[in-house]
């Protein structure tokens, strides 16, 4: 009795994925950048504004599939997390939480498109 295993469809999928790698990476970079700037805008709209320094310091640095979003004022961590005498006034965490579902949907759509679903 012979047992045969046909993996030709897996081979075909692998070739398709390899062929689409560059365009998928570019699309993923676009999702990362769009998500980062959306988080920035949301954080700027949430942050407790005293002089506006922290709001204006919230920046974005995007490199490929990596993004860093955050404020540069020295006291921003104390606004976000609070202190022993001041309640937390989080803005970065909530901005991330509000935007994560949008980013996840974009990544899922990219993956579905890649697999032809």
For 4-63, what is each residue's pLDDT tens digit?
Answer: 777 777 787 788 778 888 888 999 999 999 999 999 999 999 998 768 999 999 999 999
Residues linked to residue 61 through DSSP beta bridges, in sequence order = 68
Give residue 62's pLDDT.
96
Residue that is written with structure tokens 């990219």 in the block: 110
Domain boundaries, the chain: 10-115
- Judge contact between 91 and 111, C-beta under 8 A: no
Query: What pLDDT is recorded for position 81?
Result: 95
Distance of CA 76 to the CA centre of its chain: 21
- Report helix, strand or coil for 66: strand
How much is the pLDDT for 50?
67
> Nearest-5° angle of CA 105, CA 111, CA 117?
100
Residue 21 CA to its chain's centroid (Å) = 19
User: What pTM was estimated for this model as a whole?
Assistant: 0.83
């Amino acid at each position: 009795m012979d047992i045969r295993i046909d993996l030709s469809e897996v081979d075909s999928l692998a070739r398709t994925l390899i062929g689409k790698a560059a365009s998928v990476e570019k699309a993923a970079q676009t999702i990362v950048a769009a998500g980062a700037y959306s988080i920035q805008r949301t954080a700027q709209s949430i942050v407790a504004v005293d002089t506006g320094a922290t709001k204006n310091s919230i920046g974005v640095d995007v490199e490929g599939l990596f993004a860093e979003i955050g404020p540069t004022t020295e006291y921003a961590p104390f606004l976000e997390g609070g202190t022993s005498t001041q309640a937390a006034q989080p803005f970065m965490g909530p901005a991330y939480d509000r935007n994560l579902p949008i980013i996840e949907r974009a990544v899922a759509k990219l993956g579905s498109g890649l697999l032809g679903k």
